């Protein structure tokens, strides 16, 4: 018996749904593969994780995560290499981050072997659900939430960690447009902005909807104190290229420590690009735009990978960025990261691991 079999209990689906899926036309996040992980934390300890057929979980409306939002998640992907081998990209970073998020939301730490063994076993079991490179990748959603049936406000004593997966194509089919908001904020110092907390996404929904109603795809989030330092865009970290220098906001505690962000910085630096992590004001971006020095902007995230930004609305005016064909850094970086993830280019960083 190998270690995985001894630590993760598996109940196979009786009927795979894979044949119902058209892998050449996959909408993002709507199709779920055959199995999911369920691990309970109860009575002060983690129980043996189980893999069961994907489906509903039995919860009452009194569970504390539904009432008070004690819930964190991760986004990661499995890739099919050109040799057909399933690969994961920096899974250890997602494991570390979910535990940082959990600590901020007063939730118990997840043991590394529980997380990694469950993940690997899930991917092994649903390996056929990983699309080919041309089709996309398998998005993996670890979700960790409180399950106490109690409506007093306090940290729960019981939790569930689940992991489920979806074959996905691109998150955005076109370059995105952003509306800089001085009205709404995503996070403030001392809050949960650096955690991947479900509530961060809930509070972004109204501003996002209002931005969409004005014809933009997403919000460009500014800082809570001055309302002019750029923080994130939509659900992504943001990068600008000004005068050939790649600039991304420094991590102040309000910004998610993106794994794509971190990978982008390492690859850019290693390849000789001049890179700055520092506060960047929307007024600096605007001045660079009017001086003709704003060459590119792109978002970075697991779901969205490297997404080119076409337009930024601020103070009633639109900054229209150059066509993607005329850009250098974003397209190069997107291609480079993709080739590393699919095992095509050498991975000097040790980021790509067999699933
Ligand atoms: C990710 O990039 O994995 C995210 O968390 C975005 C997601 C909310 C769609």
**Are residues 231 and 152 part of one domain?**
no
**Residue 306 pLDDT:** 97
Q: Which atom of ligand 1 has the smallest separation from the CA of 28?
A: 9
Quick one: pLDDT at residue 199?
Answer: 98
Task: Specify the number of domains making up the chain.
Answer: 2
142 Cβ closer than 6 Å to some ligand 1 atom: no
Res 173: pLDDT:
86
Give nearest CA residue, ligand 1 atom 8.
Answer: 235
Query: What are the percentages of helix, strand and coil residues in the chain, rounded to 5?
Result: 25, 30, 45
- The C-alpha atoms of residue 312 and residue 31 are separated, in whole angstroms, by 32
- Choose the residue to mutate in 176, 203, 235 for probing ligand 1, maximizing ligand atoms within 8 Å of C-beta: 235
CATH of the domain at 241: 3.20.10.10
Do 190 and 73 share a structural domain?
A: no
Chunked mean pLDDT (size 10), the chain, 355 residues: 64 97 94 98 98 97 98 98 96 98 98 98 98 96 98 98 96 94 96 98 98 98 98 98 98 97 98 98 98 98 96 97 97 98 97 96
247 and 135 within one domain: no
CA–CA dist 147, 162 (Å, integer): 12
What is the distance in A from the centroid of ligand 1 to the CA of 29? 10
Which residue, 168, 188, 222, sits at the end of a domain? 168
H/E/C letters for each residue in 20-46?
Answer: HCCCCCCCCCCCCCCEEEEEEEECCEE
SS3 175: coil
Residue keyed to tokens 């800082």: 223
Which domain, by its residues, includes 124? 9-168
Asked if residue 108 belongs to a domain, the reply is: yes
Mark which of 142, 168, 194 sits at the end of a domain: 168
354 part of a folded domain: no
* Residues 285 and 335 reside in one and the same domain: yes
Whether residues 243 and 159 share a domain: the answer is: no
4 lies in some domain:
no
Based on the fold, state whether residues 152 and 184 are members of the same structural domain.
Answer: no
- Alpha carbon of residue 166 to chain centroid: 14
- Identify any residues that bridge with 354 across adjacent strands, giving them in sequence order: 87
Question: What's the 201 CA to ligand 1 centre distance in angstroms?
Answer: 10
Q: Is the dihedral of CA 108, 113, 116, 120 positive or negative?
A: negative
Q: How far is the CA of 64 from the centre of ligand 1 (A)?
A: 23
- Contacts of 307-311 with C-beta under 8 Å, sequence gap 24+, read 307/171, 307/172, 307/175, 307/176, 307/236, 308/175, 308/176, 309/175, 309/176, 309/177, 309/178, 309/233, 309/238, 310/174, 310/175, 310/176, 310/177, 311/177, 311/178, 311/216
Q: With a 6 A CB cut-off, is 75 part of the ligand 1 pocket?
A: yes
For residue 336, report the phi and psi dihedrals to the nearest 5 degrees.
-65, -50
Report how far residue 34's alpha carbon sits from residue 19's, in angstroms, rounded to the nearest whole number. Answer: 11
**What CATH number should be reported for the domain holding residue 28?**
3.30.470.10
Indicate the DSSP class of residue 185: -
Of all protein residues, whose CA lies closest to atom 5 belonging to ligand 1? 75
Domain membership flag for residue 88: yes
Predicted confidence at residue 170, as pLDDT, reads 86
Residue 336 covered by a domain: yes
Question: Is residue 191 assigned to a domain?
Answer: yes
């Amino acid at each position: 018996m190998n270690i995985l079999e001894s630590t993760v209990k598996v109940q196979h689906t009786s009927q795979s749904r894979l044949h119902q899926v058209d892998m050449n036309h996959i909408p993002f996040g709507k199709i779920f593969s055959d199995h999911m992980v369920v691990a309970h934390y109860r009575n002060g300890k983690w129980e043996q994780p189980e893999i069961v057929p994907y489906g509903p979980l039995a919860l009452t409306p009194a569970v504390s995560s539904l009432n008070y939002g004690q819930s964190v998640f991760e986004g990661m992907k499995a890739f099919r290499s050109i040799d057909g081998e399933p690969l994961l990209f920096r899974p250890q970073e997602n494991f570390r981050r979910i535990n940082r998020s959990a600590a901020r939301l007063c939730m118990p730490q997840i043991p590394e072997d529980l997380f990694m063994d469950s993940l690997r076993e899930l991917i092994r079991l649903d390996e056929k659900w990983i699309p080919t490179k041309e089709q996309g990748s398998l998005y993996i959603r670890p979700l960790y939430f409180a399950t106490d049936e109690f409506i007093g406000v306090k940290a729960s004593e019981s939790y569930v960690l689940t992991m489920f997966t979806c074959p996905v194509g691109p998150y955005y089919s076109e370059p995105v447009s952003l509306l800089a908001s001085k009205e709404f904020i995503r996070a403030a110092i001392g809050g949960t902005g650096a955690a991947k907390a479900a509530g961060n996404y809930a509070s972004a929904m109204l501003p996002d909807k209002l931005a969409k109603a004005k014809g933009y795809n997403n919000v460009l989030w500014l800082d809570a104190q001055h309302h002019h330092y750029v923080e994130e865009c939509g659900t992504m970290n943001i990068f600008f290229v000004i005068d050939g220098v790649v600039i991304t906001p420094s991590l102040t505690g309000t910004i998610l420590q993106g794994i794509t962000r971190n990978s982008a910085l390492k690859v850019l630096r290693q390849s000789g690009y001049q890179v700055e992590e520092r506060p960047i004001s929307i007024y600096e971006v605007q001045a660079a735009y009017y001086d003709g020095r704003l060459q590119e902007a792109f978002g970075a995230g697991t779901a969205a990978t490297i997404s080119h930004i076409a337009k930024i609305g601020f103070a009633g005016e639109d900054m229209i960025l150059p066509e993607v064909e005329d850009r250098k850094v974003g397209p190069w970086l997107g291609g480079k990261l993709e080739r590393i993830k699919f095992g095509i280019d050498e991975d000097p960083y040790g980021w790509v691991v067999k699933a």
